[in-house]
Amino acid sequence: MRARQRRASTQAALDPLRIAHREKLFIVTISHSAPSSPPRLGNPPPPKRHPEAHLPPLAASPTHVTHVTHVTHVQPATDVAEASQTTMTGTENAAPNAAPQSPAPSPFAELGLLPALVRAVLKEGYETPTPIQQQAIPAAIAGRDLLGCAQTGTGKTAAFVLPILQRLSASPRHGGMRALVLTPTRELAAQIGERVSAYGRHLGLKHVVIYGGVAQQPQERALHAKPDIIIATPGRLLDLMQQGYIRLDRVESFVLDEADRMLDMGFIHDVRRIVSTLPQKRQTLFFSATMPREIASLADNILVDPVRVSVTPARSAADTISQSIFFVERADKRALLERLLREPGVSRALVFTRTKHGANRIADQLSRAGIVSAAIHGNKSQGARERALEGFRRGALPVLVATDIAARGIDVEGVSHVFNYDLPNVPESYVHRIGRTGRAGATGAAISFCDNEERALLSDIEKLLRRRIPVAEGQTAPLSNADPRPASSPERRPQRPQSQSRPQSQGRPRHRN
């Protein structure tokens, strides 16, 4: 009888613990061995202190309290030793009363970008803004006009895409085109469109990419959907404007990208026609890798009190690019190119020529020599250009032969080498060409070939750079080891007379209404 009473007493003491255990709040270990000494009558010894000190002590029978050896709060399926490390909040290894730690803000958030844009940028793998992004984004978000002088590969696309997306997301739709990005080449337009899609994935804004060389009907259908943003090349944009498919009288933000390339390609008059149709009250973001006099004059006419951003001087190439030159007879260039392309370390190479025919010929010769390659230039169909670029991006096409029309439109990570098979006629094009490698802090190599007829072109390039390009190591017969250049360093270009100097004003002080 007494044994049954003791068992009932023990059962009453343990029932609350078993209920709690079923609810996965506590773990109770019961000693099955007899106590080493008879249980004392009266008050039990005080329990040890525990992190959960704010919990009331458990009630137990004074006769069998010593049989309960450990009680603590744990997550399910955690043993007793691990359980004592966990607090009531469920945060492992956290000290009592510790303040919760918030993650450090992203450097992109510190520029004033919306959380949705910061998430999209981080998803693309970008952790730290580039210098031009740090300077341009806050000013553009604030609605200021911007004049940016920066090379390709400095992150300037994000410097104008992110602020435009933010400003458009904060303003109501009105059914018209709200932003226009004007760019010189199809490839560049397509790449900017990809960036708009990536950065604006959480915002629900619509955009369309407009360029020639493809059927117009799909673009017409896309325009009927009333996109917020148009990314376009000048020719096709003017065609659609003249046909009544596009009106720009309600554009809020206008971006002119690669303005100097527009000048080189003969688009400057088309640009002026397009600008004349824009509303006077707008934001204008103007980017150019170089700033010749005509481009500076255009910027002065269309910008109002702009913020000026200059990340890299227009005459220089990125410090991450190793430059060298081979003095070689024209007949020997192909053999030299094949030899260099087979060297270790050449993983993805761009080869630049002056003519479309030359690009086709070199690509065919390389393919016959067993080096997989393709040509890209203005006479290629848009489909052929897109297939070649996609193969180059994926690494299936290790060598791409291009003319200068593609120098600004190829935004491919991991280009290890740029080869100037022909030196460009325009010195600034040299900077644009070699800017395809050494991008976003990566290293790259730019190797140029110079024959006897190109010595004057080399001299112009070195005057622009204000330094000599080093002679490549390892020149062997039939190449000449002698440097045909004079011993003196390149002369600096003479200063322009004051009347011909570049405009220095901060923009025409007119009021846009």
Q: HSE (CB half, 13 Å, CA atoms) of 191? A: 25
Q: Are residues 377 and 283 in the same domain?
A: no
Tell me the pLDDT band of 495, cut-offs 50, 70 and 90.
very low
Tell me what pLDDT residue 154 has: 75
Tell me what pLDDT residue 29 has: 36
**Could you tell me which residue, 379 or 171, shows the higher pLDDT?**
171
Q: Are residues 262 and 336 in the same domain?
A: no
Helix (H, G, I), strand (E, B) or coil at 172: coil
**CATH assignment at residue 457:** 3.40.50.300
Q: Are residues 188 and 269 in the same domain?
A: yes
d(CA 444, CA 442): 7
CB–CB of 150/312 below 8 Å? yes
d(CA 60, CA 15): 10
Q: Are residues 289 and 235 in the same domain?
A: yes
Dump pLDDT digits (tens) for 456-465: 999 999 998 8
Q: Are residues 304 and 349 in the same domain?
A: no
CB–CB of 444/438 below 8 Å? yes
Tell me the pLDDT band of 2, cut-offs 50, 70 and 90.
low
Dump pLDDT digits (tens) for 465-474: 888 999 988 6
Task: Please classify residue 290 by burial: count the beta carbons closer than 10 Å to its beta carbon, then call 0-12 exposed, 13-18 middle and 19+ buried.
Answer: buried
Q: Provide DSSP, 429-492.
A: HHHHHHTTSSGGG--EEEEEEE-GGGHHHHHHHHHHHTSPPPBPTT--TTS--S--S-SSPPPP
The whole domain housing 134 covers 114-310
Say yes or no to pLDDT of 496 above 50. Answer: no
Q: What sign does the CA torsion over 179, 182, 187, 188 have?
A: negative
Q: What percent of the chain has pLDDT over 90?
A: 47
Dump pLDDT digits (tens) for 102-146: 556 789 999 999 999 999 999 988 888 989 999 999 999 999 999
Q: What is the edge-to-edge ordering of all strands in the sheet holding 349-352?
A: 321-327, 444-450, 417-420, 349-352, 399-402, 373-376
Residue 66: inside a domain: yes
Q: Are residues 266 and 118 in the same domain?
A: yes
* Domain end among 278, 310, 342: 310
Dump pLDDT digits (tens) for 139-173: 999 999 999 987 766 788 999 999 999 999 998 88
- Cis, peptide link before residue 478, omega less than 30° from 0: yes
Dump pLDDT digits (tens) for 232-248: 999 999 999 999 999 99
Dump pLDDT digits (tens) for 251-285: 999 999 989 888 878 899 999 999 999 999 999 99
Tell me what pLDDT residue 210 has: 96
Q: Are residues 166 and 272 in the same domain?
A: yes
Q: Mean per-residue pLDDT for 396-425?
A: 84
d(CA 263, CA 12): 92
* Domain end among 445, 465, 485: 465
CB–CB of 274/237 below 8 Å? yes
Tell me what pLDDT residue 425 has: 86
Helix (H, G, I), strand (E, B) or coil at 181: strand
Tell me what pLDDT residue 90 has: 36
Q: Are residues 249 and 145 in the same domain?
A: yes
Tell me the pLDDT band of 71, cut-offs 50, 70 and 90.
very low
Tell me what pLDDT residue 509 has: 40
Q: Are residues 136 and 267 in the same domain?
A: yes
Domain count along the chain:
3
Degrees to nearest 5, angle at CA 228 with 115 and 239: 145
Write out the two tokens for 294. 């005509």
Helix (H, G, I), strand (E, B) or coil at 133: helix
